[in-house]
Amino acid sequence: MKKLLEKHPLAIRWFHWINFPVLLVMMWSGLLIYWANDVYRIGWGDTTLLKFFPKSFYEALHVPFQLAKGMAWHFVAMWLFVLNGIAYVLYTLISGEWRYLVPGRHALREAWQVVLHDLGIRKAPLPARKYNAAQQIAYSAVVLMGVGSALTGFAIYKPTELAGLTTLLGGYEWARAEHFILTLGYVLFFVVHVAQVIRAGWNNFRSMIAGFELVDTSASSSKTTRP
């Protein structure tokens, strides 16, 4: 027998989809800013494994010589990012949705099993609940990363007025590096997130737009709901 299962509240769907283009604008404008002093790399001594970023990457995205434009967009869109983030966190706290999101005591062990399962190594089914532990960790982490981006961002935006915050984060240069690393984190999150959404299929994707999932209760298989 089929039935509709309510999954994502309307407010959370709005916060999610507003955040997507806003974060995109933040990352694009951030890249325009970063280009003007692109000092980060992965490597040691004179050896560079990966430079952030290669010239071809900048040219493909039309990044060079747009610092002023990047700053203008960044310091406008930041308000949308922060306000939407605050609204999301408040809603999650007040509505009780945080209960699905915050990892439990055995989250790490379960998350490992989820990873093994997703890699096709472990065959046992995943727990049938809204978010498994891997999701809980990923989604909670990305919220904390958002907080981190706002804090490191304000630390480099107002390093005199917020000197205490900047110092706490290790000083101006460290705060800038942390701000950058968090952004790399979003890219990583995005890649895994989109891959998992594609894997999970239409029913799951639709729930982030329409709010519900269509489940067949007569089927014995416990279809997991992802992500």
Measured between alpha carbons, how far is 88 from 144 in angstroms, rounded to an integer?
12
Q: Considering the complex, state which of residue 103 and residue 153 has its C-beta at the smaller distance from another protein.
A: 153
Verify binding: residue 55, another protein, rule CB under 8 A: no
Q: Which residue has the tokens 């930041």?
A: 78
Should residue 65 be labelled a site residue for another protein when binding is judged by CB under 8 A? Answer: no
Crossing angle of the two packed helices 133-157 and 172-200, in degrees rounded to 10: 150
Candidates 17, 57, 112, 205; binder of another protein (CB under 8 A) is 17
Place of tokens 């701000």: 179
Q: CA 225 to CA 7: how far, in whole Å? A: 9
Exposed / middle / buried, residue 200 (Cβ in 10 Å: 0-12, 13-18, 19+) = middle
Of 17 and 57, nearer to another protein (C-beta) is 17
Choice from 39, 116, 191, 219 touching another protein (CB under 8 A): 39
Residues counted in the chain:
227
Q: How far is the CB of 107 from another protein (least distance, A)?
A: 31
Map the footprint of another protein across residues 143-182, applying CB under 8 A.
Answer: 158-161, 163, 166-167, 172-173, 176
Cα dihedral sign for 188, 96, 201, 26? negative
> Can residue 59 be called a binding residue for another protein (CB under 8 A)?
no
CA-angle at 197, arms to 103 and 210, nearest 5°: 90
Check residue 75 for interaction with another protein (CB under 8 A): yes
| Least distance CB 37 / another protein (angstroms) | 3
Closest CB 159 distance from another protein, rounded Å: 5
- Detail the DSSP E strand segments found in 23-151: 41-44, 47-51
Q: Minimum distance between the CB of residue 176 and another protein, rounded to whole angstroms?
A: 7
Report if residue 69 touches another protein, rule: CB under 8 A: yes
Binding site for another protein (CB under 8 A): 1-4, 17, 21, 33-34, 36-37, 39, 67-69, 71-73, 75-76, 79, 158-161, 163, 166-167, 172-173, 176, 206, 209-212, 214
